[in-house]
Amino acid sequence: MKLNSKEILIQATPEQVFRQIADCHHLQEGIGLANVPQMSDLQCTDTTCSFQMTGLGQLTLAITETTFPSQVVYDVKNEHIKSVTVCFNIEGGNEQTRLVSVANLDLPFFMAQMLKPVLQNFLNILVDCVKTTTEKKQ
């Protein structure tokens, strides 16, 4: 099953957006517990981020691939999810960048249907956090 986040426009260059997504410490600033009340116990390294999320439990995101400045791929795992890949696609020009995240779910159909709304919300939260923190840094 494939899910797309909402598409957002960020007032920044693709390079700035890429740098924001390709370092989990930057994600930590955007996800910050005050910004996203559905998340708690946030811990990040350069390439991983783990936290509790309402409806999904403990999640760990790990960067598995980067293509400067157009794409960052994360592998998402928890005790219930066999494999979810989240790909941030970055497109744009000098001052404005389009960002969308795409999740590929390797789950049994019934479980994918149950988790779909929660995962959709999760993808939207991620792109909103990237937008907020990237635009603050300018």
Alpha helices in the chain (DSSP H): 14-21, 24-31, 109-136
Residue listed under structure tokens 């840094």: 137
Tokens encoding 6: 């909402």
Prediction pTM value: 0.90
Q: Look at residue 8 in the predicted model and tell me its pLDDT.
A: 96
How do the domains of the chain map onto residue ranges? 2-136
pLDDT band at 22 (very low <50, low <70, confident <90, very high): very high
* Strand, coil or helix: 59: strand
Select the CATH number that applies to the domain covering 2-136 from these four: 3.30.530.20, 3.40.50.1240, 3.40.50.2000, 3.40.50.12780. 3.30.530.20
- The answer, yes or no, to whether residue 136 has pLDDT greater than 70, is yes
